[in-house]
Structure 1
Amino acid sequence: MAESSKLKQVFASLDLPLIAAIAILYGLGVMTIYSATYGQGLGYVERQLINGIVAAMAMVVFFFIGVRRFFEWSYLLYGLLVISLIALLFLGDATRGSHRWIYLGGFAFQPSEMGKLILCLALARFLALKKDKSFSNFLKVLGLSAASGLFVLLQPDLGSSIIYVVITISCLWVWGLPKKYFAALVGSCLACIPIGWPFLRDYQKLRILTFLNPNIDPLGAGYNVIQSRIAVGSGGVFGKGFLKGTQSKLQFLPEPHTDFIFGVFAEEFGFVGAFLVLCLYAFVLWRILLVGLKSKDLRVKIFVGGFTGWILFHVFESVGMSMGLLPVTGLALPFMSYGGSSIISLSCGFGLLLSACLDFPKRYE
C-alpha cells in the first residue's frame, strides 16, 4: 500500500501540460522531417522515431534517479565531460572538418550536447555553495565553464560554445551576481569579438559576413539564408499546405530536416502555424520557470535558470537564422530538428526538471 501511495504521489506531481507540449513539438518535428525528406525514403523519419523512443526512456530514467542525485554526481560527470571533449579532438572522426561526434554503429552522438546539461548541474551545485558574491567566485565560475566551453570551441563548434556562455550567464543571473560584474562580462565579450575574428575558420567568417549581406555570396554561403527567407516568406498567412512546400521539395532549401526545419514548417503552415509553434515554446519555457519559482532548493533554481537559457537561445537562434535575422550556426530547433543528441539531452534535462517537483527526503538520506 505504501508503494502504491508513493507511486500515486509521483504521477500526481507530473506536469502533464508540459509533457503534452513537448510531445506535440516532437510530433510536429517528425511530421516536418517527413515532409522535408519526402521522396528520399523513410530513413530520417524512422531514425527520428527511434531517437524519440530512446529520449522518452532517458527522461523516465533521469526522472526516477532524481535531480538531487545528479547534483551529487555533477562534478564527476563534469570531469568525464572535459576528458571526453579533449579525447574527441584527438581520437574523434572528422566530419566536415569538425571533431564533434562519437560514432556507435549507425548512430552518432555529440558529447557537447549532453555537456550542456552537465554544465547546468555543475554550475548549480557550485553556485549554491557560494554565498559570497565576490569577484573571486565570479572568476571561479568562468574558469569552471571555460574548462569545457573552450574545448567545444576548438572542435570547432561555435554555436554550442555560445550556448555554454548563455548557460553560464543565466545561472549567474539567478544566483544574483552583482550588475557590475555582468557589465564587465558583457564588455569582455564585446572586446573579444575583434580579437577572436582572426581565429575563426573561413566558413565561420563567411557565415557572419553573409548574415550582414547574403548577396555577397548568393550561390555559396549566402544561398542558405536566401532560400530560407524565401521559404518562410512564401508561406503567407496560412501556408501552402502539408507536403506542398516547394523550397524543400525542389531541394532549394539546404539541410531542411535539421538547420532550417523552421523554414520548411513556416512555408507549409504559414504565419499562423509558425506563431502557434512559438506559442508552444513560450508555454514550455513558462512551465520550466514555474518549477524554479516554486522550488525552495537554490540548486534547482539555478539549474532551471541555465536550462531555460539553453532552450530559449536554441529557439531564438534557430528561428532567427531561418528568417535571415541571425547568423547561421547550425543549432537545432528543440524537439523538432532531426538528430538524437539534442533530443536525448533535452529529454534527460526535462526528466530532472520533473523530478524536482517531487519531495521525498528519505530517498536522498
Structure 2
Amino acid sequence: MREIDAFDALAAGKSIHDDANFSWRVARHPRGNVTPDDFNWAQGAIPEPEPGQVLLKTHYLGLAPVMRMYMMGGSPSGEVPLGIGDVIHGRGVAQIIKSRNPNWREGDLVQGQMGWQTYKVSAMTPQEKFFPMPKNGLPAALGSGVLGMTGLSAYAGLFPTGDPRKGDLMVLSGAAGGVGSMVSQIAANVVGCDVVGIAGGADKCAFVRNHGCSAAIDYKNENLVERLDALRPDGIDLYFDNVGGETLEACMERLRMHARVVLCGSISEYARTDPFALANYTRLRRTDSRMQGFFVYNHIHRWDAVMSDLAGWIREGKLKPVQDIITGFENMPKALAQLYYGQNVGVQCCSVRGEPKDWR
C-alpha cells in the first residue's frame, strides 16, 4: 500500500451528521511527513453560544503546508501552539446559525479561523480574523482558498514584496500549488511578466502552461540547472520561491541586475532534519538585488482591497480559480497529506457540507 493510501483506511467508517460536533485532533506530533497515526477523530456535543458569541457551521476548510508545523507544536503564524488532543488549526468558510452578538447576523457567511471541526462557538475576536463573505455571485468555496488566505498570500508576495514589472523575466517554483497557481496567472495576465513555472511531473507542467506560464520545468524528470540555462539564458528579474532548498540556490545563481527574490514558502525543507544552508546569498550583492520574505498576517489590512481585485480578475477571466476540493470532513488528514506527497493541483480544500443554500 502506498503511504497516501493509508489515509483512506483512516477515513473508513467515519461520517458527520448535524446533531453532533466532529473534530480532528492532534494524536501525536508528526515526524517527517504526516501519517494516519498523527490524527485523532473526536465527537462531542454542539456548543451553545453565550452572550457576545455566535455558533458557526462549517461548509469548507482550506489546507496549507504550514498546518504540519502547527501539529508539531510550532507557531509560525502566531497561532496558539498545539498540544496532544487539541483541535488542529485551519481556516475555512462557515455560516452563522445562532447569534448572540449584535454585530453578526444569523445566516451570514464568514471566512476565518474555524479549526478542523464541524461547528464552532466564537466571540469573533480580532485574533480569529473573521471576514464577512460578500455576495458577489462567486462560489462560497472560493473563500477557503483563492478568495481567502491563499489569495492574500499570492497578492502580498507578488505585489508589495516582489514589485513585479511588465516584461520581467520571472521564475516561479511550486507553480502548480495553491499560491503558485495564482501568482503565475496574475503575474502574466495582469502585470505582463514572462513566467517560467517549476512543477513536478508532466501533468502538472501541462497544467502550469495553461495557467499563466510560458514554459515549464519538470523538476522530477528534468535537470533543473540545464533547463534554467535554456529557458532563462539572460537571467532572472523576479524569482518567487515556494520550495526553498536547492531550487532557491539554483535560481540565485541566475539573478539579473536589480532582481527580486520573494521568499513565500519552503516546503522542500519542512521534513529536513537540518535546515538548508544557502551558500550563494552573496549573489544579491553582486547584482544589487534584494531577497525579501513576508508574513501574510502583516498584510491583513489589505484584505478588502485584495479580495475585490481578485474577484474582479476572476470575473474578467484573468484569473482562473483552481481549487483541489476533496469531499468529506473524514478526508481532512488525506487532504493535508496530499500537499506533502505532491498530489494536489491548485489550492487544497475540503468540502464539509458544500455550498450553503440560498446564499449567493
Q: Which has the higher contact order (CA 8 A, sep 6+)?
A: 1
TM interval, shorter chain, is under 0.3
TM-score by length of 1: 0.27
- Bigger share in strand: 2
More helix per residue: 1
